[in-house]
Chains A and B, each alone.
Chain A
Amino acid sequence: MLDVQAVLPDLPFLLLGIPLTLAITAAAFLLGTVAALPMAIIRIAGVPLAAPVVVVWIEFFRTTPPLIHIVWAYYVLPVLFGLRLSALAVVILALAANASAQMAEIFRAGIQAVPKGQREAGMVLGLNAWQRLFDVVLPQAVRLIMAPTANATVSLLKDSSLAALIAVPELMNRGQILATQNFRPLEVLTLVAVLYFVMTWPLALLAGALERRSRVAFRGL
């Protein structure tokens, strides 16, 4: 039925895709997270004009599939904005936009979970809003966001496989190429699945450890 041994010799070809997979994940995560914090703050603070825009952005990217984001960005951006980006750049930007929405929600939930008493104590101590945010609330929020963030990263790593649809030669794409050359799509796919497992499992373990440490039944995500 399944003869994985037959495809094992081609493993190196698949492995060559891993650096790209990791690079896409890392870049999208960094970009998304950097964008997410300001967005979360804007949303919580209810900044006029900016907050509704942020809300629409977040809700749009949270409710629509990343597959559509990637394909849309790939075919539409050149037409709409004259932006001729490489496939790799498009994937990173699309996934970063997606990640920014997820992370913004994680940050928001984390910040709002910090007991109100903390903010009030800060006011009593005479701290201004920025000081309250960065010196009192955020440090405590960090504890709450670490586990969901690790989970979001795992999600991102799996979503990087969508880059195959626009011919970025990362792991999944290489799997597709290999499968059409040796006519063993299922064996190749199994091997690819194992490789994804190997990449994401350490992250999943980390997420589990962080979840136990935070010790708060984290609602909202």
Chain B
Amino acid sequence: MELDWSILREYLPYLIAGAGTTLAITAMATAIAVVFGLVLALARISGRRLLSWPAYAYIEFFRTTPPLIQIVWFYFVVPVIVGFELNSFQAASLALGLNVAAFLGEIFRAGIQGVDATQRDAAQVLGLSRVDAYRFVILPQALRIVLPPATTTVMLLLKATSLASAIGTMELTRVGQLISIETFRPFEVLTVVALIYFVINYPIALAARYLERRLAVSER
């Protein structure tokens, strides 16, 4: 089977557009995940069962079921439940955002709990309210612990966007499929798609590594 790489020149713009959508979904889902993940983390450490148990159930559910199923669910079932339509992009972003929120929730929780207890005591001694203690003392320090694993999670999120192809979202994988159908050349197309994923995800991997080194937290 001879290979024909020239076709890719013709289709490269579409692949780049697909990569753009991939990044857009990633950005959208990350925003949702960070906000919701923080809420989950705070719920979990609040000590109030009414908050921490639903948070726990949510986290366990989203972490143990395949994201593919979650994405299809958000596309087909959620619109019926909430009463308004979700297109592929919205459904994928929402599903992945809520999925990753579960992972970030655990990472944030570990980060907050990883901040030395003496910091909290010091904040209290200084007369800071609980909210201020969090805002000015605990969260900034938790950030150092949290950034490396959170960045790795964003890498995983970017990879997971390829599942959005199942509901037709025009991200990189789906565009690759359509090109494949037109050209009957899965080999060339798949290779280029893999390389593009590498190119867009590698900077994030580098960022994670950099943060890991810079923010190395000494062990207690």
The answer to whether A76 touches B190 (Cβ under 8 A) is yes
Q: Specify which of A65, A186, A196 is in contact with B197 (CB 8 Å cutoff).
A: A65
A to B contact number (C-beta, < 8 Å):
122
How far in angstroms is the closest Cβ of chain A from B155? 7
The answer to whether A76 touches B197 (Cβ under 8 A) is no
The answer to whether B149 touches A219 (Cβ under 8 A) is yes
The answer to whether B198 touches A63 (Cβ under 8 A) is yes
Complex Cα spacing A63 to B110, Å: 25
Complex Cα spacing A192 to B64, Å: 12
User: Interface-forming stretch among A32-40, A122-130, A197-205?
Assistant: A197-205
**CB nearest neighbor in B for A1:** B80
CB-defined contacts of A68 to chain B, threshold 8 Å: 162, 173, 190, 193-194, 197
Q: Specify which of B60, B165, B198 is in contact with A201 (CB 8 Å cutoff).
A: B60
Complex Cα spacing A193 to B73, Å: 10
Tell me the dominant secondary structure on chain A's binding face. helix
CB-defined contacts of A185 to chain B, threshold 8 Å: 72, 76
How many chain B residues have a CB neighbour from A under 8 Å?
A: 50
Given A63-B202, A219-B149, A220-B148, 19 other A-B residues pairs in contact with their CB atoms under 8 A:
A1-B81, A59-B205, A63-B159, A63-B198, A63-B204, A63-B205, A64-B198, A67-B163, A76-B187, A115-B219, A158-B67, A189-B69, A192-B69, A193-B69, A200-B64, A201-B60, A204-B60, A219-B148, A220-B149
Enumerate 17 A-B pairs (CB-CB under 8 Å) in ascending A order. A2-B77, A59-B205, A63-B205, A64-B159, A66-B159, A68-B193, A75-B186, A75-B187, A75-B190, A154-B64, A158-B64, A162-B68, A172-B68, A193-B73, A200-B63, A204-B64, A219-B149
The interface of chain A, by Cβ under 8 A from chain B, is 1-2, 59-60, 62-69, 71-72, 75-76, 79, 113, 115, 154, 158, 161-162, 172, 185-186, 189-190, 192-193, 196-197, 200-201, 204, 211, 216-221
